[in-house]
Amino acid sequence: MAAIYGWAGTFLDIDLTTGKIERIPVSPEFAEKFIGGMGFNAARLFERVKPGVDALSPENVILFGIGPLTGTLYPGNTRLTVTAKSPLTDVFGATNIGGFIGGELRYAGYDQLAVTGKAARPVYIWIDDERVTIRDATHLWGTTTWETGQKIREELGDPDIQVICIGQAGENLVRFANVTNPPRGSGGRAGMGAVMGSKNLKAVAIRGTKSVKVARLGEFVQLCRESTIFGRSEPRYKHLRTTGSPKWIDFIGEASASGGRNFTRQISDRWEEIKGEKFLPGGEYTVRKRGCFSCPIGCSGFFNVKSGEFAQIFGRTPEAGVTIMGLGCDIYNVPFLLKMQELLDKYGMDSLSGGQMLAWAMDCYDRGILTKEDTGGLALEWGNYAAVTELVPMIAKREGFGSLLADGEKRAPQNLGRGSEKLIYHIKGMSCPAEDPRVSRTFGFSYYTAPRGADHLTANITWVPDLLRGSELGKKMAAKYKKWGSIKSAEHDDDIAGMGESQKWMEDATAIINAAEVCTRTGGSFEFMAKALSAATGLEFTLDKLLAAGERIFNMEKAFNAREGLTRKDDNFSNPEKFTREPVAEGPCKGDVLFNLEEFLDEYYQARGWDVPTGLQTRAKLIQLGLADIIPELESAGAVR
C-alpha cells in the first residue's frame, strides 16, 4: 500500500472474545474499488457476517470506517460510518457521525476498526497510534456518554483524546441506541449503540499523532481552497451557518408536510413556535456556534437554558430529529426540546426512532389501546411533555413501560398487539422521519428502497442536487425529470416518470459521499470531490468513475439484505394502506396519496439492472460492477437471478 497515498493502508481488527488484535493491509485494488468509509464497511460486513446471525450475538461485527480525505484540509471531511447488522431491523445497518472522531482514527493510522466477539466484562478499546489495548470499563458501566468521555480523558491523562461511546441505552440493548462522540455529535439510526452494548464495549478512545500523505500536495491544497469558496457561495450556506439542522422544521412546516400526531396531521398551526430561528446564536438559548473537524460552516452549537422548569440544562443545539419529535408528539415547548436533546445525547438514543415510538404510544393511548394501567400511570396525551420527560429515561434503562418501547418499531407493536400494529409505519423495521410521504413524494419513494429502512438520507434529495449543480449529470437529470430533488408540495402531479432512474442516481451519489466521508453540507461539489480524491490518492477519479463506485457500494448493501431473504415485497411500508389509500386530510395536498408503487419499483429495478419481478440482483449486473466474487454466496441463499 506504500505506493498509494490518501488511505492509511491498514485495517485494525479486534476480537473481544479472544483479545486478539490484528492489523490487516488494505490492498490498492480494494481501496480503489470501495473508496472508504461506507464502502469499506459494506464490503467487509458482507464478508464477515453470515446470514441469519443474531445482531446482538458475538458473531456480529461492528465496523468504524473513514475515507481517503479524512484528516486532510478538504472541507467537511469529518464523517465516520459505523456499520453492523442492525438489531432494530435485522438487516443492513449503518449510521454516520460527525465531530472529531474520524480525523483521530486517521491520525492513529487506520482506515477502519472492526470489532467482533464479546468481552467477559465491560471494556473499552484504547488506540494510541500503534499501541492498542483492551482496558477494563467496569467503572464506566452505567455512566452517561458525557461522563464516559470525561472519565476516559482524565484516566488517560489527555484532554484531546477522542471517544466514541454508548450510554445506558446501549448497555441495556435499546434497539435504537446511538453511538456518541461526546459532546459533539451522535450517530443515530439502526441501533449501532446496542451492538456495542451486546459486546460489552463501552467505548473506543483514540489519540493519533501521524500525518496524512497526499500524492499532489500543491494541487490538493488549491482544490481545498476552491471547494471551500464554492461551498460558501451555495444558497444553503447562509441558513446552515446561522440556523443549522433545526431549519429543516421550517421546510416541513412551510410545505405542510408534517407527520404530526403519528402522521395524522400534515398542518400544524404551531410549528413556528419551534422553527429554526429559535436556535439562532445570540438568542434566548444558543450560547455559541461550533463546527466539526475541518468544517467551514459550523451548523451546530451549544445551548443553555437559564430559567424556567428546565433551568440549568445545557448541551449541543438540537438536530432536526428532536424538533421532529416535537411535531410527532404535538409538543411545541423549546426548553423541553432542549431537554430532550440533552437526555438523548447522554443516554445515547436515536431521536427519530425514539420520537416515532413516543408518537405511536401516544396514538395508542389516544385511541384507548393503551391505558394508564399499561403505562405505569403516565397519561400519554398529545402534547404532555411532562410524561415524555419521565418516559425517556425509562426507555434508556428498560424500566416498566419503557422496556416495551425500547424494542423499537418492528417488535414493540408485535409484542403489544391489540391492533397497535396498524399504527406503526416502518420499512424493513425502521420508521420514516417526519416528512409525510404523501406530501413529499420524492422522500416517500426514497424510503422504499433504502437498505437500512425508511431512511431520508440514503437517497439524499436535499443535498445531492446541489452537489451535482452545473455538472453534465446534473443537467441531464434536471432535463429528464423536472421535479428531481424537489420536496415542494406545489409540484405534485400524477407523472412519476423518471423517478426510479433519478432515485438510483441519488442513491449512488450519496453512497460516494458516505464512502469519501465528506459532510454533504460542506463538501463543495462532486467535481471538486473527484479532483480532490485524485490529487490525494494519485489515482484518477472522474465523476462517472465515482458514480460507478457508488453503484457498487449500494449493491453490496442490497446483497447483504438479499442474502437475509429480502425481496421486492420488502420494499414497502409495514402498513402501506396508511399512505397509499388514506388520503391527506388537509393542506395544499388534501386528497393525495402515495401512489403508483408498482410502476415506480418497475422503473427503479430496470434502472438498477435488477430482476423486476423479484427485485433481486442479476448475475450480469454484479459481474458488470466487479462483484462476481459475491455471487456464490447469493446463489446458495437463492438471492440472485
CA-closest candidate to residue 299, choices 349, 343, 340, 245: 245
Per-residue pLDDT tens for 254-282?
767 777 899 888 766 787 787 777 777 66
DSSP, res 268: -
Rounded CA-CA distance 80/89 in Å is 21
* Residue 221: Cβ within 10 Å count: 15
Average pLDDT (85-93) is: 98
pTM of the predicted structure, to 2 decimals: 0.94
Name the region of 262 (left: φ>0; alpha: ψ -120 to 50; beta: rest): left
Q: Is the pLDDT of residue 521 over 80?
A: no
Per-residue pLDDT tens for 309-337?
888 888 777 777 787 888 889 998 988 98
Per-residue pLDDT tens for 381-424?
999 999 999 999 999 999 999 999 999 999 999 999 999 999 99
Highest mean pLDDT among 77-81, 248-252, 482-486, 583-587: 77-81
Amino acid at 281: P
The answer to whether the peptide bond before residue 451 is cis (omega within 30 degrees of 0) is no
Average pLDDT (452-465) is: 80
DSSP string, 365-386: HHTTSS-HHHHTS----TT-HH
Instruction: Estimate to the nearest angstrom the gap between the alpha carbon of 71 and the chain centroid.
Output: 21
- Band of the pLDDT at 485, cuts 50, 70, 90? low
Q: Is the pLDDT of residue 34 over 80?
A: yes
Cell of 443: 422522500
The pLDDT, as a whole number, for residue 301 is: 75
- Band of the pLDDT at 483, cuts 50, 70, 90? low
DSSP, res 574: S
- Band of the pLDDT at 490, cuts 50, 70, 90? very low
Highest mean pLDDT among 182-186, 213-217, 274-278, 489-493: 213-217
Rounded CA-CA distance 47/28 in Å is 18
The pLDDT, as a whole number, for residue 282 is: 66
Mean pLDDT score of the chain, rounded to an integer? 89
The structural domains of the chain, ordered by start, are: 10-207 (3.60.9.10), 242-424 (1.10.569.10), 441-448+467-523+542-636 (1.10.599.10)
